[in-house]
């Protein structure tokens, strides 16, 4: 029974998130249905990251097993055909090792958060950026971000309902850059807590507005108290960019 690894790009706007739920269209559900239409098999499609409603992906990874041995290019083309008209495409498909697991074999994940800081609202990127109609200070945001790097208890920046066994994570990268009128926050870690990136982005925005200093960001982290977190950034600005693996 061959195992297939697929890389997926999607606009999360119309979906209730990655995971199949009782109501609404999910990314996982649409993929499962596309595989069924292609092969006649009902499979379990397992993803590397359980993105929330409205969160986008440029490099989500998933795996599933099939009874028949299909050429990977056929899997990619057939799934793309059956996924239409949903805003989702398979970028790549490959045969994976029998013990490959899209989630548990991952050695790292990379996220991007986009903030559009300008007076006029977005037209083309309406559901793909967080619009902030005022200038932000990216230098202050970058300074504040340095306090997040490394091995910490991120209780302040996790969702109340987060199911992770521990709030302790190692944040390997948290960069703040400017591209035109856009401020981009890029984060990398082996794994993240639920809402961790959006919580950090929301707090960095407060630094950018001058409502917090970089020292306030550090104090919020050290407080280990969800109540000390800034407002949660909206899901529309978040992208799962990449999932990293060791030698496969």
Could you give the residue numbers annotated as active site? 52
CB-based burial, 220-247: b 16+ in 10 Å, e otherwise: bbeeeebebbbeebbbbbbbbbbbeeee
Other Cβ atoms less than 10 A from the Cβ of 210: the count is 11
Give the Cα separation of 5 and 2 in Å (integer). 10
Collapsing DSSP states into helix, strand and coil, what is residue 8?
strand
Contact 129, 122 (CB under 8 A): yes
Q: Are strands 56-65 and 238-245 parallel, antiparallel or unpaired?
A: parallel
Distance from CA of residue 28 to its chain's centroid?
14
């Amino acid at each position: 029974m061959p195992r297939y690894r697929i890389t997926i790009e999607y606009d999360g706007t119309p979906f209730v998130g990655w995971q199949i739920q009782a109501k609404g269209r999910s990314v996982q559900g649409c993929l499962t249905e596309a595989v069924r239409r292609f092969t006649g098999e009902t499979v379990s499609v397992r993803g590397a990251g359980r993105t929330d409603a409205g969160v986008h992906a440029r490099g989500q990874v998933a795996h599933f097993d099939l009874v028949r041995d299909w050429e990977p290019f056929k899997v990619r083309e057939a799934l793309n055909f059956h996924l239409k008209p949903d805003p989702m495409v398979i970028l790549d498909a490959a045969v994976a090792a029998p013990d490959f697991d899209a989630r548990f074999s991952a050695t790292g994940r990379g996220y991007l958060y986009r903030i559009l800081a300008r007076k006029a609202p977005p037209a083309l990127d309406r559901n793909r950026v967080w619009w902030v109609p005022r200038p932000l200070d990216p230098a202050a945001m970058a300074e504040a971000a340095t306090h997040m790097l490394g091995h910490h208890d991120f209780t302040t920046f996790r969702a109340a309902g987060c199911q992770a066994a521990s709030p302790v994570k190692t944040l390997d990268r948290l960069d703040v850059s400017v591209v035109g009128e856009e401020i981009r926050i890029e984060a990398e870690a082996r794994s993240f807590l639920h809402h961790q990136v959006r919580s950090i982005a929301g707090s960095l925005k407060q630094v950018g507005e001058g409502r917090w200093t970089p020292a306030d960001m550090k104090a919020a982290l050290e407080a280990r108290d969800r109540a000390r977190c800034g407002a949660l950034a909206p899901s529309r600005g978040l992208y799962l960019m990449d999932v990293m693996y060791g030698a496969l």
